[in-house]
Amino acid sequence: MKALLFVGAAAFGWAFPAAGQTMSHDHHGDMPMAAPSSPASPAAAAPDSDNAKAEGQDAAMSPNGGQHSGHDIHMSPIGDPHAGHHPPAPQADPHAGHPMPADSRPEAAAGTDLAAGDAPAPTPQPGLAASRFWGAEAMMAASHHLRHHHGGMTFRQVMLNLAEVQLRRGKDGYRWDGEAWIGGDIHRLTLKSEGEGTFGGRTETAEVQALYSRAIDPYWNLQAGVRHDIRPGPSRTYATMGIEGLAPYWFQVEGAVFLSSQGDVLARAEAFYDQRLTQNLVLQPRAEANFAAQTVRETGIGAGLSDLELGIRLRYERRREFAPYIGVSWERRLGETARIARTRGEETGGFSFVAGVRTWF
């Protein structure tokens, strides 16, 4: 009956932790009678394996240690970790004076078995306690330094995703596509550049972008800034806005729109995927498409989908920072852009074998 009462009381304590806190002390006298199934006593559900494992292990303990296997010892004052730390009102072990056999289960809730109350948290105070000892100025400077070095540091990276020669019928060419960034986790300055040309000829396309990049969620960055096309001439400058990031299924995706100083609107979408064949061999399929809202005769761009590139590259990533690759790339000018190219007697695209290095530092 007493046990039943305690279970009820404990359940009450569970529901009203603040009340249970005081009650558990009131019920000390009942504790030996408490049912192991008391809901306030998770210990009752503790696996027996503890004790099973402990059995026969006393060999490892000195005779002295044997004394400790009872629960009635008291902490020596020297061993009290709260010495000098304003210990709370003496609560000691509620089981003090209740010797328990080593293999018995705790008979009632105590210590961490007790439910927590819902007292309010204190208010944070300004300043560091150590200022009393080392001076406020020194501590403030050290605190600033500490915070900067735990989450506020600046990093940088330069990466050439593509740096390759392109072997094809007609004139062999080259191509690059890379970016560099500097900044923290959220705000970065990003520079991008890409372009291509033919050996012995001139650089056909070359552009640079300077962007402010801001992390907007775990995977995506919003980027805005300026793009400048050095080639093809005449050079153009665009305002640009785009996103880049990691899409589900590990696709690296990039998209941007560009508004030129002449009022022309262009857009670009890029995606690639790293398929690991082995730990060192990575197959990277890649696609890039450019669009234009209008035809721009000077630069030979026609309205609509202006060109498309599909490529697949196999790289050897023995060293992450320097990974040589080979692959195939198919580029094609399309629609109005292709028509303009043909009227100028230019190629409209085709296959290339590519070989290059993906490198970063």
Return the residues of window 206-245 that contact other proteins according to CB under 8 A.
Answer: 215-219
Question: Are the C-beta atoms of residues 221 and 214 closer than 8 Å to each other?
Answer: yes
Q: How far is CA 44 from CA 12, 13, 39, 108, 275, in A?
A: 18, 16, 9, 9, 51
Residue from the set 28, 68, 202, 342 that interacts with other proteins by CB under 8 A: 68
Residue from the set 8, 42, 99, 233 that interacts with other proteins by CB under 8 A: 42
Residue from the set 48, 101, 118, 200 that interacts with other proteins by CB under 8 A: 118
What's the closest the beta carbon of residue 240 comes to other proteins, in angstroms? 21
Cα–Cα dist 153/158, whole Å? 17
- The binding track of 134-163 with respect to other proteins, each residue x by CB under 8 A or -, is xx--xx-xxxxxxxxxxxxx-x-x------
218: which DSSP letter?
S
User: In terms of CB distance, is 103 or 298 closer to other proteins?
Assistant: 103
Residue from the set 94, 285, 304, 335 that interacts with other proteins by CB under 8 A: 94
User: In terms of CB distance, is 86 or 297 closer to other proteins?
Assistant: 86
What's the closest the beta carbon of residue 319 comes to other proteins, in angstroms? 7
**Is 298 a binder of other proteins (CB under 8 A)?**
no
What's the closest the beta carbon of residue 346 comes to other proteins, in angstroms? 39
User: In terms of CB distance, is 22 or 262 closer to other proteins?
Assistant: 22
Question: Are the C-beta atoms of residues 179 and 159 closer than 8 Å to each other?
Answer: yes
Residue from the set 97, 129, 343, 344 that interacts with other proteins by CB under 8 A: 129
Return the residues of window 327-346 that contact other proteins according to CB under 8 A.
Answer: none
Count of residues in contact with other proteins, rule CB under 8 A: 111
SS3 293: coil
Question: Are the C-beta atoms of residues 197 and 207 closer than 8 Å to each other?
Answer: no
What's the closest the beta carbon of residue 175 comes to other proteins, in angstroms? 23
User: In terms of CB distance, is 84 or 234 closer to other proteins?
Assistant: 84
Cα–Cα dist 336/342, whole Å? 10
User: In terms of CB distance, is 106 or 302 closer to other proteins?
Assistant: 106
Residue from the set 8, 65, 201, 233 that interacts with other proteins by CB under 8 A: 65
- Give which of 220, 213, 174 is closest to 192, Cα–Cα: 213
Give 48's strand partners: none
**Is 182 a binder of other proteins (CB under 8 A)?**
no
Cα–Cα dist 7/314, whole Å? 68
Residue from the set 123, 200, 261, 345 that interacts with other proteins by CB under 8 A: 123
Cα–Cα dist 326/104, whole Å? 70
Return the residues of window 9-38 that contact other proteins according to CB under 8 A.
Answer: 17, 20-21, 24
Residue from the set 33, 46, 243, 326 that interacts with other proteins by CB under 8 A: 46
Neighbours of 34 (CB within 10 A): 23
Return the residues of window 245-274 that contact other proteins according to CB under 8 A.
Answer: 246, 248-250
CB proximity list for 193: less than 8 A, separation 6 or greater:
176, 177, 178, 179, 206, 207, 208, 209
Q: How would DSSP label each residue in 68-137?
A: HTSS-----GGG-TTTTS-PPSP---TTTT----TTPPP-S--GGGSPP--PPPPPPPSS-TTHHHH-HH
Question: Do the strands 265-273 and 275-276 form a parallel or antiparallel pair, or are they unpaired?
Answer: unpaired
What's the closest the beta carbon of residue 8 comes to other proteins, in angstroms? 18
User: In terms of CB distance, is 138 or 239 closer to other proteins?
Assistant: 138
Residue from the set 4, 5, 15, 96 that interacts with other proteins by CB under 8 A: 96
Any idea which residue has 């093809």 for tokens?
232
- Give which of 226, 223, 225 is closest to 215, Cα–Cα: 223
User: In terms of CB distance, is 282 or 341 closer to other proteins?
Assistant: 282
